[in-house]
A and B are shown apart, each in its own frame.
Chain A
Amino acid sequence: MLRCLALLLFAFSAFAQKPSFTVGWSVYAGWTPYHYMNKSGLLRKWADKYGITIQVKRFDYAPSLDAFVAKNIDACAMTNMEALDMPAASGVPTTAILIGDYSNGNDAILARGGVQLKDLAGKKMLLVQKTVSEYLFDRAMTINGMKDQIKKVRAINTSDSDIATAFLADSGASAVVTWKPMVSQIAKQKGIASLFDSSKIPGEILDLTVVRTDVLNRPDGAGRKFAMALAGAWYEMLGQMSNDKVLAAIAEGSQDTLASYKEQLVTTKMFYKPDEAAAFGASGDMKQKMALVRQFCFDHGLLGANTKSVDEVAIRYPDGSVQGKPDRVRLVFDIGYMQMAAQGKL
């Protein structure tokens, strides 16, 4: 009897010795590779190397953020803006371990009937409010010296799943701010022109893979192994993305065609090489861009009603410098894993 129990305990502990982690992703050109990484067994190979199990779950974007904040998943693909205003601002310390890409035209402001940015005051504009779409619009108006007109535009909060049909069907709406593939779908129609897109603010809309800091710092070290396995698999995956067969398989992950996926990649600045990504993460440029993003988040109340100052949700950069109060660091950019990938140490 006792031996039986011991055996059971042993079996149980052996099972428990293999820590399990979950990474969540949603459909976006820069994140869809997760689908293929999982399907092709690439991720399993790397997980086995580090003696862990990694599960991949596909979500809609907003629920993936909710799941990450609720600590149901350990890692998640999200933009720099949401990493700051969802987990970090909700007291869930978050570390960005992979800088996958930045939007280089994926997000755009489109208008019909020859309407220009300066004509938008008083006109109807569809967008998903409080997201990078609003950030893009804010930046477009600021860069063109029309900051005072931002509030005069009649913004209509429109769900992203309906925004393309809503804009095309309602000719009373003058402009729309959205992202690909909806942008491509809308731009195909006659009489629609692009007024501004994210290629004019390169590096401000970043697509990251983030891990909860407490997972990363697990005392048994499995969190670090998880991050290393993710980084290893990620860059092996990106290395194969010059192959059309692989691209088609990736596109399949979002029920997309190869042609459409390739078109989206044109306006996505992928960091295919880990050293490029790490160099971008270490640059002072990124700090300046994050300063714009965090100020936007604060101005729009996205850091929470109780957050009295933009410095209360602080960001730490790879060189150790901190934006905000040093005792309130909630978002960390860690380029260590990308560097290890670059040096082939994974």
Chain B
Amino acid sequence: MSPGFLLIHAKPPRAAALTLSWLLFVGGITAYLWVAQARHRDNPEDRVTPTVAQMAKGMWSAAMQPAEEDEAVSVENATAWQQFSRSMLWKDTRATAKRFAWSIVLLIPAVLIGLHMGLFPFAGVFFLRFVLFFDKVVALSLLPILFIAFGIDEMAKIMLIVIGVAPTIILDSFNLTRGVPPEQVVKAFTLGAGDFTVAYRVVLKQILPRILNSIRLNLKSVMLFLFAGEMIASTDGLAYRIALLRRHMGMDIIIPYVLWVALLLFLVDLTMRLVNRKLHPWFHEA
């Protein structure tokens, strides 16, 4: 290997690239296993760092058995799928996914507001100052007001996400809209386009892939706000379960749950990336 193998011109061979890309995973898992083993040697009943077998068992029961607060159903002649569809994991995932989906849907108007702010001067002056300010408000600190306005049920959790994430999306859409060369807008007008054709078919069309990327980057904030909401007051959901299990150090289920959330979020991100590529084959950033 040339001495410059770590420099800019380096071209890692396929095998090396594959190995290197998994190295940190292996390192992290090894470190965990080492700590877990040491702790279990010291105290066989340790619950802080469960072994892989304990986590597998915990996750298996989470995926196959109904939640403690639900009625146990007869498990005879139920298929694995039927069992899973009544399980704690499925119940929690469904509840969280529903809130997640609603908040993503409610973020669509945010994109439109940003677009209008960028194109229509009156919309711009009306919203910009307020949104800039509102963006800096820490939504979590407004909880008591949210409770009064939206109760403590689903609405409050979804609004917490929307209030937390929407300003960022609005400002990002606004900036992307402003980034479209004004010549294009003028050109579209000379070709006979109306105001809304310009907005939706010329500008929105070309900033959409970047907006999707911006939403992708904000998925984690969405999840953070969702988790905060579920931990504050809830009867189901992935974060509810984690909050509950924390009370008695149920790390054998908490760790798999956290990994499960990461996997789901990764899949949502991947789907959005693929959809983006499919919808906008001409777009070649990121």
Chain A interface residues (CB < 8 Å from chain B): 62, 66, 69-70, 85-86, 89-92, 126, 129-131, 151, 154-159, 162, 165-166, 169-170, 172-173, 300-306
- Residues of A with C-beta under 8 A to B45: 89-91
Please pick, from B44, B61, B232, the residue contacting A166 in the complex, using a CB distance under 8 A.
B232
CA of A69 to CA of B248 in the docked complex: distance in angstroms? 10
Q: Contacts A91-B45, A158-B232, A159-B232 given: A301-B248 contact, CB under 8 Å? A: yes
Residues of B within 8 A of A156 (CB): 152, 233-235
Q: Which residues of A lie under 8 Å from residue B152 when comparing CB positions? A: 126, 156, 158, 166, 169-170, 172-173
B residues contacting A by CB (< 8 A) are 43-48, 54, 57-58, 61, 68-69, 143-144, 147-148, 151-153, 231-235, 240, 243-244, 246-250, 252-253
Distance from A23 Cβ to chain B, minimum over Cβ atoms (Å): 20
Q: Which chain A residues border B143 with CB–CB below 8 Å?
A: 162, 165
Given the known A-B contacts A151-B69, A165-B144, A302-B248, are A159 and B47 also in contact in the complex, defined by CB atoms under 8 Å? no
- Across the A-B interface, give the 7 residue pairs with the lowest CB-CB distance, nearest first: A91-B45, A169-B147, A130-B247, A165-B144, A90-B47, A158-B233, A169-B148
**Pairwise interchain contact A166-B233, C-beta atoms closer than 8 A:** yes
Known pairs A130-B247, A165-B147; A90 contacts B231 (CB<8 A) = no
- Bound Cα distance from A312 to B231, whole angstroms: 31
Cα(A301)–Cα(B54), bound, Å: 16
B235 close to A154 (CB less than 8 A): yes
**Is the CB–CB distance between A91 and B69 below 8 Å?**
no
Question: Which listed residue, A90, A126, A169, A300, touches B249 by the CB 8 Å rule?
Answer: A90
Name the one of A91, A157, A301, A304 contacting B240, with C-beta atoms under 8 angstroms.
Answer: A157
Chain A hits for B69, CB < 8 A: 151, 155
A157 to B157, CA, bound (A): 14
Chain B residues in 8 Å Cβ range of A129: 244, 247
B residues in contact with A300, CB < 8 Å: 68
* Chain A residue contacts of B147, Cβ below 8 A: 162, 165-166, 169-170
Q: Do the beta carbons of A91 and B47 come within 8 Å of each other?
A: yes
Given contact pairs A169-B148, A304-B250, enumerate 13 new A-B contacts (beta carbons under 8 Å): A62-B247, A66-B249, A69-B249, A85-B247, A89-B249, A126-B233, A130-B244, A131-B247, A157-B234, A158-B232, A158-B233, A162-B147, A304-B248
In the complex, what residues of A have CB within 8 A of residue B153's CB?
A: 172
A225–B207 alpha-carbon span in the complex (Å) = 70
Provide the bound-state CA to CA distance between A190 and B254, in Å: 41
A154–B236 Cα gap in the complex (Å)? 11
* Cα separation A129 to B67 with both chains bound (whole Å): 14
* Bound CA span A169–B248, Å: 30
**Residues in chain B near residue A169, CB distance under 8 A:** 144, 147-148, 151-152
Q: Could you tell me the distance between the alpha carbons of A172 and B151 in the complex, rounded to whole angstroms?
A: 8
Q: Is the CB of A306 within 8 A of B233?
A: no
Inter-chain contacts of A130 with B (CB < 8 A):
244, 247-248
Tell me the nearest residue of chain A to B249, going by C-beta: A90
The listed residue (B57, B232, B247, B253) touching A302 by CB distance below 8 A is B247
> 19 A-B residue contacts at CB 8 Å?
A62-B247, A66-B249, A69-B47, A85-B247, A86-B248, A90-B249, A126-B233, A130-B244, A130-B247, A154-B235, A155-B235, A156-B235, A159-B233, A165-B143, A169-B147, A172-B152, A301-B68, A304-B248, A305-B253
CA distance A86 to B246 in the complex (A): 10
**Most B-side CB within 10 Å, residue of A70, A92, A155, A157:** A157
Determine how close the nearest CB of chain B comes to the CB of A165; give it in whole angstroms: 4
> CA A63 – CA B44 in complex, angstroms?
22
Task: Decide if A91 touches B252 in the complex (CB within 8 Å).
Answer: no
Cα–Cα, bound, A129→B250 (Å): 14
Chain B residue with the shortest CB-CB distance to A169: B147
**Are B249 and A157 in contact, with the CB atoms below 8 A?**
no
Q: Which single member of A69, A126, A159, A165 contacts B48 (CB below 8 Å)?
A: A69
Nearest CB in chain B to that of A154: its residue: B235
Q: How far is the CA of A301 from the CA of B235 in the complex (A)?
A: 17
Q: Are B43 and A91 in contact (CB under 8 A)?
A: yes
